[in-house]
Structure 1
Amino acid sequence: MKTERLQMNLFTSGFSTLAIDDRVRAAIAAGVPVAYSLSGGKDSVSISHAADRLLDQLGHPRDRRIAIHSDLGRIEWQTTPATVEAAAAAIGVPLVVVRRKAGDLVDRWERRFELGLDRYIDLRTYHLTGPWSSASNRFCTAELKTQVILPELLRQWKGTEILSIVGIRRQESPKRRLAPISKREGKPWVRAAGGCITTWHPGVDIREDEVFTYLEREALPVAEPYRLGSTRFGCAFCVMGSENDLTVSARAPGNLGLLHHLVDIEAQSTFSFQQQRWLGDIAPDLIHPALWADLERGKVRAAERRNLEDRLPANLRYVKGWPQRIPTLAEASVILSTRSAILAVHGKTSPYDTPALVRDRIAELFHAERVKEAA
């Protein structure tokens, strides 16, 4: 596919280049609906604004463009809605705000731990699952952004091609260095909805210094965390945030209640917000004594849980297609004692409360997996 870096001096923009390919050019020429994905961060605002100018130059109809924002609820910076509204107004397009119907991201984290505990009780998992998303399991992005935004676009423009503009840059991370200029969204539910969505990344080659220069030159809204010293924008507390950014968030006006709520989830679940960092340790002076005592107890229980899980037979640990074999009665006895101690911390028990029942339950799961594999 032919790829171009359009020299933006043609479009009086300020960016050195925007990336485009034949697939995107064809979509623009056809006048397909365009949606700017606006998070409120520097990249989404600046790249959407620049891409809008490019669309004007290429003759795309303005009445076929919108901005769309997925509101993640309590985890958002309180100023994000106003930032997004101002950005959409600066671009000059209507703003559509969508939300996950089953609750916000904090609800999702809490529910994930509840469901994980239920699965652990039912011996469908070998280890207890924590509440948090992570770099390797970004259900926060998938379930609360992609799986909310794309269905809304398909609902608004059913049965037609849609161009979704997302402001990511290859400079941001090793993973994003591989970002294509455009891609077709190939999820089965996208095809089943009778539409076609092309995601366009026009700003993949833009540098960070260009972004801030552009925002200033065009007098575009700058999100609160940047002004407070954060290096990135996203959730008020991000599972992938640096210590600096989490500290900025913790001390920002309006985030204290959310901080306390998340630290309470840490304490009750016994899982730290990040793999190597407890959120409560970011700003301990902001944690009231009762919550701090709960957190310290949670940390002790977390260490105990890890020590208990270290006793589990290693060659029975979870892998895809688990379980891979059936434990002996002696191994089942170790599994039982480990699980019983971990469940007791959460005031729970399991019906599989003898070594024989544990072994038989894992045998049941083992045979079910083998049938699934054969099918």
Structure 2
Amino acid sequence: MVSRGQIAFDLPEFDDGPDLASYRWILANISGGKDSAAMLYELVRQADAAGVPRDRIVCVHAALGRAEWEGTRELAAEHAAAYGLRFEVVARTGADLVDRIAERGMFPDASNRWCTSDFKRGPVRRLMTSLVREAQDGGHLGRVRLLNVMGLRADESPARRRLLAFSHDGALTCPCQNCMLRRAALESAERRGVPCPKDKKPGHGASNTVRHVDTWHPVHAWSTDDVWSAVARSGLRPHPAYAAGMPRLSCSFCVLASRPALIRAAQLRPALAAEYAAIEAKTGHRFQNDLSMAEIIAEAERTKVATIPCWEG
């Protein structure tokens, strides 16, 4: 989930991460995967050290329907319960991801990741709205500070390498000083009829007039070995898909996955692979530009996948 409203903080106190005690809500995005399990372990460790009550931490799982690995939702709930944390499930209203692909007649791709915006970012922001109301009903005055925490890592892809470990999720309607300066730069450029530099524009993040949202990736610099070490220390149960050979617990069939990972997924979930192939045949849109699900299924039936490299997401 890439925040398109990232604004860097250069203040010394943020060198080691955010001031956790300054947030009314800390929202931990958990998928049931290894990275989110490591993130949750590190978040709870730092929150406890900072004296943050655990009732301020809310775990959220963005449900994708049958596109995700079986048992993922239940495992995410198990991970939250291990720390005694509140657990919320959010989802897009209407069709699940598989049916939505069929409705749209196209699969997501690297340049148009509508699956992320529609099924993760949008529903999570609705939960933020609900949490703000909850805080206000409890007597909170002024803007509500939320910290959105995710387990994205630099090792996963060039795009994630460019992410800031900690940033403000700025937006056009955010009244903070940095966003106001960006809004002024945009308005000035519009008056002069010239393009506003991308790095000067207000973001399209989650902040607004009632909530201040920052984004934190506490395991951004961690290696895969670091992650598995933290998972071992946490005692949290990994999803069985890892033992079956999958390198990541994304969608069972992620459009950004490597060919070997897709082949292995087709071996593990042949019925879902067949459903995607049927969508391809009906819509004429390939699962990946250079690889169809029909080809993946055919290769899965004749290939034994031994080593699966992690893919770039």
Q: Give the TM-score category using the shorter length.
A: 0.7 to 0.9
Q: Secondary structure at the match of 2:98?
A: helix
Which residue of structure 2 aligns with residue 206 of structure 1?
222
Unaligned segments of structure 2, at least 5 residues: 1-9, 134-142, 174-205, 302-313
The answer as to whether partners of 1:47 and 1:202 remain within 8 angstroms in 2 is yes
Structure 2 Cα separation of the partners of residues 282 and 237 of structure 1: 10
My pick for the range that moved more, 217-226 or 49-58, is 217-226
Which residue of structure 2 aligns with residue 171 of structure 1?
155
Distance 1:62 1:247, change over 3 A: same
The correspondence for 1:2, drawn from 11, 27, 30, is 11
CA RMSD of aligned residues (A): 2.1
Structure 2 Cα separation of the partners of residues 186 and 111 of structure 1: 32
Q: Secondary structure at the match of 2:246?
A: coil
The answer as to whether partners of 2:102 and 2:283 remain within 8 angstroms in 1 is no
Aligned ranges for residues 203-282 of structure 1 at < 5 Å?
Answer: 203-252=219-268, 255-282=269-296
Structure 1 Cα separation of the partners of residues 168 and 23 of structure 2: 17
Q: Secondary structure at the match of 1:157?
A: helix
Which residue of structure 2 aligns with residue 71 of structure 1?
63
Distance 1:203 1:3, change over 3 A: farther
Paired residue type of 2:108? S
Structure 1 Cα separation of the partners of residues 27 and 276 of structure 2: 33
Structure 2 Cα separation of the partners of residues 54 and 286 of structure 1: 43
Aligned ranges for residues 141-156 of structure 1 at < 5 Å?
Answer: 141-156=116-131
My pick for the range that moved more, 151-160 or 267-276, is 151-160
The answer as to whether partners of 1:48 and 1:91 remain within 8 angstroms in 2 is no
Structure 2 Cα separation of the partners of residues 81 and 3 of structure 1: 38
Aligned length: 251
**Larger helix share, 1 or 2:** 1
Q: CA deviation at 1:31?
A: 4.4
- Aligned: 1:41 with 2:33: yes
Structure 2 Cα separation of the partners of residues 154 and 192 of structure 1: 10
The correspondence for 1:137, drawn from 101, 104, 112, is 112
Distance 1:172 1:191, change over 3 A: closer
Paired residue type of 2:125? L
Q: CA deviation at 1:107?
A: 2.3
Aligned ranges for residues 109-120 of structure 1 at < 5 Å?
Answer: 109-113=101-105
Structure 2 Cα separation of the partners of residues 70 and 202 of structure 1: 19
Q: Secondary structure at the match of 2:242?
A: helix
Q: CA deviation at 1:105?
A: 1.1
Structure 2 Cα separation of the partners of residues 244 and 261 of structure 1: 19
Which residue of structure 2 aligns with residue 183 of structure 1?
167
Q: CA deviation at 1:200?
A: 0.9
Paired residue type of 2:144? T
Distance 1:144 1:278, change over 3 A: same
Tell which structure's C-alpha radius of gyration is larger: 1
Which residue of structure 2 aligns with residue 197 of structure 1?
213
Q: CA deviation at 1:244?
A: 1.5
- Aligned: 1:100 with 2:116: no
Which residue of structure 2 aligns with residue 81 of structure 1?
73
Q: CA deviation at 1:218?
A: 2.3
Distance 1:286 1:46, change over 3 A: closer
Paired residue type of 2:166? S
Q: Secondary structure at the match of 2:89?
A: strand
Distance 1:187 1:106, change over 3 A: farther
Structure 2 Cα separation of the partners of residues 280 and 38 of structure 1: 31
Q: Secondary structure at the match of 2:31?
A: coil
Q: CA deviation at 1:192?
A: 4.9
Higher relative contact order (CA 8 A, sep 6+): 2
The answer as to whether partners of 2:38 and 2:219 remain within 8 angstroms in 1 is no
Q: CA deviation at 1:91?
A: 2.8
Which residue of structure 2 aligns with residue 325 of structure 1?
none
Which residue of structure 2 aligns with residue 56 of structure 1?
48
The answer as to whether partners of 2:41 and 2:234 remain within 8 angstroms in 1 is no
Distance 1:178 1:264, change over 3 A: same
